[in-house]
Structure formats: C-alpha cells, structure tokens
Structure 1
Amino acid sequence: MNNSKGYIFLEMLVAFSMCCFIAVSIVPVVQSVTLDRHNTEMRTSAYHVLYEKLAAYSVGELSATNGMFEVEGVTYSLSWRADSEFPGMVEGCVSYETGAKRIETLCDSTK
C-alpha cells in the first residue's frame, strides 16, 4: 500500500467525487417516488371516501348536502349535483389538496 508517486490522494478524490455525484443524483428520485406514493395513498383514500358516501346516499342513509370532513389528517370537500348526462342520477365529487399543493377532484354517480 505504499505508493510513493502520489496517486492515492488523486484516486481518493475521484472516488469521493463519484460517490457525491451518485448521492446527489439519487436524492431527487427518492423524493419524487416518496411524493408519488403519498399522492397515490391520498387518491386511494379519496376514492374510498367517495365510494362510502355514494353507497350511503344510494341506500338513503345520507342526504345530498355539500360539506367538508377530515379523514386521517386530510381534509376532503364533498359536493353533490344532478348528473346532466344521465337523468335521475346524482354525481358526488370529492376534492382534496395533493402533496404538490394541487387540488384534485374525483367524481362518480349514483341513483
């Protein structure tokens, strides 16, 4: 391990630079994957909430009144309107704010 030509410092500097480059390249990818996973969990929860509200409305347990409610720390806004494409149907929509501070709305219809 004795290198008298002075290349060890240069080799260590190159290896350290490569490790830093790899680490800096991976961090944004990990953040993006984490944000996408969080948004997917929120969307799945919103679909579940919308399904529950539409099912409760269709069996008569719930009236079609707009409102806001919170589930697992996420605030959802529920709105109802008559479905213009299908007479006799009611459309329920759930809106929420994603991790990217964007408002997303999911809608579905029921009788």
Structure 2
Amino acid sequence: MCLFIVFALFPIFDQLKLNKKNMLLRTEAHYLLYEKLTAFADGEIEAVSIEIQRQNHLFTLNWGVPNGFPEMVEGCIQYQNAFGKREEVCDATKK
C-alpha cells in the first residue's frame, strides 16, 4: 500500500502542484499586462520594453504594433512557466 502511494499518488500531487503554479503565473502575467496597457492608455507610461520581477519570477513586457491595426499598440508579457516552457500573453489598446 505504501508503495502505491509513493509511485502513484505522489506524481499526481506533484503534477497538480505544478499546474496550480502555472495557473498563478498566468494570472499574474494577465494582471501585469492589463495594468501596463491601462497605464499606457491613460498616458502614465511610454511603450518601452521592460523586465518586471514579481514573486521571484521574471516577466518581460514587449510592445509592438499589431498587423493591420496601425492605430493600436500591442503589449506582450513573456515568462517561464513551472515546466520551464516559455509562455506569452498579448493584448492591444488604442494609441
């Protein structure tokens, strides 16, 4: 019975823990993105790429112009998830 717990349940719990961490990282990335897009739309910041350190994780904010929409500016937040994979969240706002 003990071996069953070690070999079957612990990997499942570990996977659940990593999935929860990924969900929290993605939520933080969305929060940062919309915080920066709102600040840009309100004229509080310029569209300058920066790195943001939050909760021991590095998030990179990059700006650009979405294809076909020159009146818009696109912000993208990149970060590394709990599995070591690079993730990106993007959205746009009016200039």
1:71, distance to aligned residue in structure 2 (A): 1.2
Task: Count residues with an aligned counterpart.
Answer: 94
Is the counterpart of residue 39 in structure 1 residue 25 in structure 2?
A: no
The separation in 2 between residues aligned to 1:71 and 1:21, in whole angstroms, is 38
**Higher helix proportion:** 1
Residue in 1 that maps onto 2:38: 55
Bigger relative CO (Cα 8 Å, ≥ 6 apart): 2
In 2, distance between residues paired with 1:100 and 1:19?
28
Report what 2:13 is aligned to.
Answer: 30
Matched to 2:39, the amino acid is: A
Identity %: 36
Using the size of structure 1 for normalisation, the TM-score is 0.80
Q: TM-score if structure 2 supplies the norm length? A: 0.93
Unaligned runs of 5+ in 1: 1-17
Q: Which has the larger radius of gyration?
A: 1
Give the drift of 1:73. Answer: 1.2
Of Structure 1 and Structure 2, which has the larger fraction of its residues in strand? 2
Q: After TM superposition, where is structure 1 displaced by more than 2 Å over at least 4 residues in a row?
A: none
Query: What residue ranges of structure 2 are gaps of 5+ in the alignment?
Result: none
- 2:49 is aligned with 1:76: no
Instruction: Give the RMSD, CA atoms, in angstroms.
Output: 1.0
1:101 to 78, 84, 92: 84
The one-letter code matched in structure 2 to 1:84 is: N
* Aligned mates of 2:2, 2:46 — CA distance in 1: 59
